[in-house]
Chains A and B, each alone.
Chain A
């Protein structure tokens, strides 16, 4: 596909998601109390969108991933939340 064809197919969808993300960050700012590690993880990933790297989706996923290698001794609950609590804030 040409770049224009990609834009014709996906620009409106990307525009919609970008505005949703901006509105989400505004909503968080308007709310009260401390944000947990998930907000910092999301903010840390935002500059990756503007990077010249052609693997931005992979970079964002890695920024939100547990980078450690050893199995943990036991599970505290079954769920995942989408960001790694151990990431620097």
Chain B
């Protein structure tokens, strides 16, 4: 089996996870910027984090033969403080020049507030100005349905944004259709308690089709499973899906989306 892990927060994971993912057939890891579990106190904290994502972490992954790519932003959990958010937006352009950066992400909404929406719009503006791919985080649990609708409204309001260059992540049964019908890519995140299980992810793929969907583990500092994508590939096999179909979902699709940025090269 070969697969791409298109969404993993490896700065929060131990080195053994890199080895396990490589052994399971992982061929590349992509790491969006996210919330550290606590609020950073200044833009300098983000500067150091972006250095970690674009310099240190690729070296750590390379020790296991894994290409490492990153996405940059201030996440919606910290964008309620608009002054800090704008300071962070100001330093992103210099990091966009770094060779492992694929785009702007994971941006989006958390509690669906007005400030979050303003900062989401400013990230989208930055992505449009610098012709970047976009990776969107949709809110958790009871806030997901409302937040996904709001995010789609904001994206559709900017005529410079091409839906095929945007992936909207963490979809579930109540949001997957609206994302795909609007022409965006959809990401299914596999978590032990929230988001989707391998069985539900395969259900969604069987119903919605696998054309513009990727799977990811989004492993971080919380309860999460770095091998969730290969486990879901096994789940597909148990249901009788062909090896070709599994490969198209866990390898072909993320490669197709990510290759829209020519920096995404895997040997």
Are B115 and A66 in contact, CB atoms less than 8 angstroms apart?
A: no
A69 to B21 CA separation, bound complex (whole angstroms): 40
A11 to B13 CA separation, bound complex (whole angstroms): 34
Give the distance to chain B from A77, nearest Cβ to Cβ, in Å: 8
Binding stretch for chain A, among B22-30, B95-103, B105-113: B105-113
A79 to B77 CA separation, bound complex (whole angstroms): 9
Interface of A is mostly: loop
Chain A residues near B172: list those with CB within 8 A.
61
Are A74 and B113 in contact, CB atoms less than 8 angstroms apart?
A: yes
Are A61 and B173 in contact, CB atoms less than 8 angstroms apart?
A: yes
Instruction: Tell me how many residues of B have a C-beta within 8 Å of chain A.
Output: 31
Whether A75 sits at the interface, judged by CB under 8 Å, is: yes
Are A55 and B173 in contact, CB atoms less than 8 angstroms apart?
A: yes
A40 to B200 CA separation, bound complex (whole angstroms): 25
Give the distance to chain A from B142, nearest Cβ to Cβ, in Å: 4
Chain A residues near B199: list those with CB within 8 A.
10, 13
Give the distance to chain B from A24, nearest Cβ to Cβ, in Å: 14
A65 and B174 in contact, given A1-B239, A80-B141 (Cβ under 8 angstroms):
yes
Interface residues of B in 102-143 (CB under 8 A from A): 110-117, 139-143
Interface residues of A in 53-89 (CB under 8 A from B): 55, 57-58, 61-62, 64-69, 71-84
